[in-house]
């Protein structure tokens, strides 16, 4: 099993470029099924999850040509199967994203239950609700099987603002007859990216960026040449790393608007950054002190669907808070197992009270000591990397496959910033 060897206590310094948004790349790859013309996708991160999605696309008979390290040309004429391979489905939750486009183009989709991060219950009911409303018959015996002779637009209220369910519903609706109104839709930047890609292919989508999407079905979609936006989760992770190690960092290719919720949350920890166009600079001198709420109350950082604070940055904020003077409450509302990695931070010397599966009280600053760690999921794994690079002494991080599912060339990029990290195995 591959692992990272990390020597901490070294402030990072330098310049990097933001990778493409993983959570936009995956649905955009799935959306390429919706046309028999060529699709070019650019700024695709070179990570494991992307390769798995491309393998699934190939399994349908698709052609994948790599144009450069971060660009691909996809082409799929006749679809030879509507079944997602079992092994691919086990690896990533995003395999569920093939349901909508397969159903729209072939009238059938068969998917094994998806895998992915173990961060708590991740219900799929909203996918079934949306696709059923559009005219699909759904069976959940052994595999998830969707059938529809014809998809027809509908007025759909999603029972939760699920990102992937919204994406599946949109991809099915663009080729459905008549108009679909999707209310309580997710509106994260990666959902917006998918909608913009589909629009460039000829789809008619109104309300992009809001929680009400109006999709007028068309008979056919064309190919496109589309560039994925920057990964604001990765950018937020590197901001946290710079602050926690007392370093200075310049990140190029960012999108300021995507980082506004994160800036409010980090601001509660006395951490800020500057933007000049698409270039972001994290200064070395930070307050690193908790800003109390009105009346001297302990502040709370809680996640929520967009435009709330992104849940994928909760793990990062917890680690950063261990290095900040003062006390803060972090409330993870969306996944009941995401916080279970904090026992490893406590073992490193962090002062954290885990109140319940959703809430943790962090008091800092704390001196962390190197330790042996195991990454449970993508974001907690990156949080462990930050903790190890902040700690005194050496750390070993195992199961780094989970981290590399979401972070492109991480060891090389951290090394270029002065981080003492190597990959073994």
Mean pLDDT, rounded, for 318-346:
92
pTM for the structure as a whole: 0.94
CA distance 108 to 100: 9
Q: What is the pLDDT of residues 263-313, one digit of tens each?
A: 999 999 999 999 999 999 999 999 999 999 999 999 999 999 999 999 999
- Residue-level pLDDT at 344: 95
Q: How confident is the model at residue 336 (pLDDT cuts 50, 70, 90)?
A: confident
One of 36, 55, 68, 117 is an active-site residue; which one? 117
pLDDT band at 119 (very low <50, low <70, confident <90, very high): very low
377 catalytic residue (yes or no) = no
Average pLDDT over residues 61-84: 96
Longest dimension (CA), the chain: 65
Half-sphere exposure of 84 (CA within 13 A, CB side): 33
Using CA atoms, how far apart are residues 203 and 194, in angstroms rounded to an integer?
Answer: 11
**Rounded percentage of the chain residues whose pLDDT exceeds 70:** 98
If one compares 94 and 113, the residue with the highest pLDDT of the two is: 94
Q: Indicate whether 87 pLDDT > 90.
A: no
Instruction: With a cut of 60, say whether residue 122 has pLDDT above it.
Output: no
Res 112: pLDDT: 84
Domains delineated in the chain: 3-19+230-424 (3.65.10.10), 22-227 (3.65.10.10)
| pLDDT value of position 115 | 57
Of 41-55, 113-127, 206-220, the one with minimum mean pLDDT is: 113-127
Q: What would the pLDDT profile of 97-110 be if each residue is shown by its tens digit?
A: 999 999 999 999 99
**For range 233-259, the mean pLDDT:** 97
Q: Are 176 and 217 in contact (CB under 8 A)?
A: yes
Dig out the tokens for 259 from the structure: 């980082």
**Residue 300 and residue 265 in contact, taking contact as beta carbons nearer than 8 Å:** no
pLDDT band at 396 (very low <50, low <70, confident <90, very high): very high
Q: Show the tokens assigned to 208.
A: 């992009």
pLDDT tens digit string along 175-219?
A: 999 999 999 999 999 999 999 999 999 999 999 999 999 999 999
The per-residue pLDDT for range 130-174, each reduced to its tens digit, is: 999 999 999 988 888 999 999 999 999 999 999 999 999 999 999
Q: Are strands 137-139 and 279-282 parallel, antiparallel or unpaired?
A: unpaired
For 26-39, the pLDDT digits (tens) are: 999 999 999 999 99
pLDDT averaged over the chain?
94
| Separation CA 243–CA 313 (nearest Å) | 14
């Amino acid at each position: 099993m591959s692992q990272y060897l990390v020597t901490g206590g070294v402030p990072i310094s330098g310049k990097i470029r933001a990778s493409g948004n993983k959570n936009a790349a995956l649905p955009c790859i799935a959306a390429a099924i919706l046309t028999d013309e060529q699709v070019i996708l650019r700024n695709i991160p070179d990570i494991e999850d992307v390769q798995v999605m491309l393998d699934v696309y190939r399994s349908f008979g698709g052609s994948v040509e790599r144009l450069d390290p971060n660009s691909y040309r996809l082409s799929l004429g006749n679809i030879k199967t509507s079944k997602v391979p079992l092994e691919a489905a086990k690896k990533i939750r995003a395999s569920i994203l093939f349901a909508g486009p397969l159903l729209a183009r072939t009238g059938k989709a068969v998917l094994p239950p998806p895998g992915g991060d173990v961060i708590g219950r991740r219900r799929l009911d909203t996918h079934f609700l949306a696709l059923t409303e559009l005219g699909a018959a759904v069976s959940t015996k052994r595999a998830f099987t969707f059938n529809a002779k014809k998809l027809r637009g509908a007025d759909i209220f999603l029972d939760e603002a699920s990102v992937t369910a919204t994406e599946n519903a949109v991809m099915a609706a663009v080729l459905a007859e008549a108009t679909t109104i999707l209310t309580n839709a997710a509106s994260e930047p990666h959902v917006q990216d998918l909608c913009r890609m589909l629009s460039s292919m000829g789809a008619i989508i109104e309300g992009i960026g809001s929680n009400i999407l109006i999709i007028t079905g068309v008979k056919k979609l064309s190919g496109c040449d589309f560039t994925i936006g920057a990964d604001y989760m990765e950018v937020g992770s590197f901001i946290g790393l710079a602050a926690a190690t007392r370093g200075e960092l310049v990140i190029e290719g960012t999108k300021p608007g995507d980082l506004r919720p994160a800036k409010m949350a980090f601001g509660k920890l006395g951490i800020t950054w500057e933007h000049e166009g698409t270039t972001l600079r994290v200064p070395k001198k930070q307050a690193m002190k908790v800003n109390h709420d009105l009346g001297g109350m302990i502040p709370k950082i809680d996640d929520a669907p967009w435009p709330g604070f992104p849940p994928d940055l909760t793990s990062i904020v917890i680690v950063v808070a261990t290095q900040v003077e003062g006390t803060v409450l972090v409330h993870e509302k969306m996944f009941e197992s995401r916080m279970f990695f904090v026992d490893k931070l406590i073992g490193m010397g962090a002062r954290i009270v885990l109140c319940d599966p959703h809430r943790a009280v962090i008091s800092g600053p704390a001196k962390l000591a190197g330790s042996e760690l195991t990454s449970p999921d993508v974001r907690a794994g990156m949080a462990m990397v930050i903790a190890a690079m902040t700690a005194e002494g050496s750390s070993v991080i195992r199961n780094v496959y989970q981290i590399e599912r979401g972070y492109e060339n991480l060891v090389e990029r951290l090394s270029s910033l002065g981080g003492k990290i190597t990959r073994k195995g």
